[in-house]
Amino acid sequence: MALRVPSGSNNLFKEGYKTLQGLEESVIRNIQATKEMSEITRTSFGPYGRNKMVVNRLDKLFVTSDAATIIQELEVVHPAAKLLVMASQQQEAEAGDGTNYVVIFASELLQKAEYLLRMGLHPSEIAQGYELALEKSIKFLEDLVVDQVTDLKDAAQIAKVTKTSIAPKEFGYQDFLGDLVAEAIVSSMPSNPQNFNVDNIRVVKILGGNLMQSTVVPGMVFPREPESNIKSMTNAKVAVFSCPFDIGQTETKGTVLLKSAKEILDYTKGEEKQMEAIVTEIVNAGVNVVACGSTVGDLAMHYLNQNNVLVIKFPSKFELRRVCRLTGANALARLGAPSKEEVGSIDKIFVEEIGSDRVTVFRNLDDDESHTISNAQVTTIVLRGATQNYLDDVERAIDDGVNVVKALTKDSRLVAGATAAEMELNKLISNYADSNSSTNQYAIRKFAESFEVFSRTISDNCGLDSTDLVTRLVAAHHKVKSDADSGLNGPNVGINVESESSDTGLIDAVEAGILEPLAVKQWAIRYATEAALTILQVDQIIMAKKAGGPKVPTNRGNWDDQD
């Protein structure tokens, strides 16, 4: 007889422990939690996905259809749903896109597993079937490759992928934004694409205008003016200070007794001479631009202006690091003259007016790396828009587009989008289930059916008849290209989201240029399946009593209402 933890024992656990076990109490309850989680993000999937308005605990408002942001701000507490959140976050870290894909697919796998559990299958049998189906899915996906990005410095090839990634978030602007992102990536792509750093693509959001006025600037753009009287500099030699540019304060307080006006003048002149000596040393080192991560004192600013030095402050330490990367400078934690190796260089620094805002631009005028060997090629996308929330959402879409290209540096193969790859996997894995004679075939078939959820979800979000459209998609994928039957068929048939009726709801994804990176799909399927298996194999939930004293009742009324 199998040992189990007794649920009602007073001697085994401390008082306040709660245990849930059995199919209904633990497994089904967990599946229901993941289903609720999926229902929140499902309506935001695809080009016509709706936005969510999320107000987090800091009272900050988010209006977005980006699942990664929605999940992060919701603060999910259910342990099973949390596993989906963690899988989704790992997908974001690994591939930069496909977060909603993971949540939807994992939840669908669990709902299909619920049907099998009620039919009498053991969770271990279902897990075994899902693992076999996962292995086959990864293998079949590699056979569905339809294209490959051969040159990551070719904007036209990169745009094919960035447009597909941006379309679900900013549908209608995907061509413009996709080209914008591709241009930015090409200008900052190193000679070895494996060294591509997503942080070299910066986004600056400036209110006003419209999205079509957004531009790409080679270099860095900062939404603030220089602090000094000098506003522009060519052939700039940059010194970066992470410490305050001011006279240092003593650690202990002291009292100075001054007996005459001459002593007061001499006291202040000592500080002035000390600061003047520091600024003179810096200027003699060839520096004509000072970038400071902290405060710049009035006395220091006076001498820096006298020596025609451009001064700009960066409140963010991350921006200060990017300046170091762009110019090749080293951030100094001490006040004084930098050595030759610690000084950075940039071709031009100038102030430009965009809309009603004045911004400072750091730019290298040419691509000749002879004078900037250690300098990174940083590119900034200047976004225009009406509201801050809208600009934030566009920035998230651009971030996904840039991260997808990072995934391409590892694996440049592409598969058909518009749910064509999923529907072809549905067919291939269903055929594999038919060839399997063990009880695993039931789980494998349900795994195959789970791929239909993407077509069904996109159809629902587009306002199309999902049942009819998915049926026609399945039929199109079971036919072959050589069939005499007219109409679209073959492995690349997907959903046409711009169609007004189900009659014209199919499209050849490859001909339409809807392509997605193979790596993003593989990682998403893998993470979703592993999260689903983890939840499926939980047979008991043991919860300890929360730390802290008893909670004060909130609905007990006034203190003197009781008799």
Q: Residue 250's domain is classified under what CATH number?
A: 3.50.7.10
pLDDT tier at 555 (50, 70, 90 boundaries)?
low
Whole-angstrom CA distances from 562 to 199, 550, 554, 556, 557 are: 62, 20, 15, 9, 9
CA quadruple 349, 353, 355, 358: dihedral positive or negative? positive
383 or 488: which leads in pLDDT: 383
Answer yes or no: is pLDDT of 11 > 80. no
Domain-located, residue 518 = yes
Domain-located, residue 494 = yes
Q: What is the pLDDT of residue 3?
A: 47
Domain-located, residue 381 = no
Answer yes or no: is pLDDT of 372 > 50. no
Residue-wise pLDDT tens digits, 244-295: 888 766 566 778 788 888 777 777 777 788 888 888 888 888 898 999 888 8
Q: What is the pLDDT of residue 562?
A: 56
Q: What is the pLDDT of residue 428?
A: 93
Rounded to two decimals, the pTM is 0.83
Domain-located, residue 354 = no
Burial call 305-326: b when 16+ CB within 10 Å, e when fewer: bebebbbbbbeeeebbbbbbbb
Answer yes or no: is pLDDT of 441 > 60. yes
Give me the percent of the chain exceeding a pLDDT of 90: 22
Domain-located, residue 512 = yes
Domain-located, residue 3 = no
pLDDT tier at 430 (50, 70, 90 boundaries)?
very high
pLDDT tier at 367 (50, 70, 90 boundaries)?
low
Rounded to the nearest integer, the mean pLDDT of the chain is 84
Domain-located, residue 303 = yes
How many domains are there within the chain? 2
Minimum mean pLDDT range among 24-28, 319-323, 490-494, 553-557: 553-557
Query: Residues 22, 139: one domain?
Result: yes
Across the range 441-461, mean pLDDT stands at 92
Tokens of 8: 């009602």
Domain-located, residue 522 = yes
Helices (H), 120-189: 123-143, 155-166, 174-188
Answer yes or no: is pLDDT of 549 > 80. no
Across the range 43-51, mean pLDDT stands at 88
Instruction: Supply the range of the domain harboring residue 244.
Output: 228-348
What is the distance between the alpha carbons of residues 366 and 75, in angstroms, rounded to a whole number?
Answer: 47
Query: Tell me, what amino acid is at 455?
Result: S
Q: What is the pLDDT of residue 273?
A: 83
Residue-wise pLDDT tens digits, 187-212: 888 888 888 888 888 899 998 888 89
Residue/partner pairs of 482-491 with CB below 8 Å, 24 or more apart = 491/144, 491/416, 491/420, 491/424
Query: Residues 38, 140: one domain?
Result: yes
| CATH code of the domain covering residue 529 | 1.10.560.10
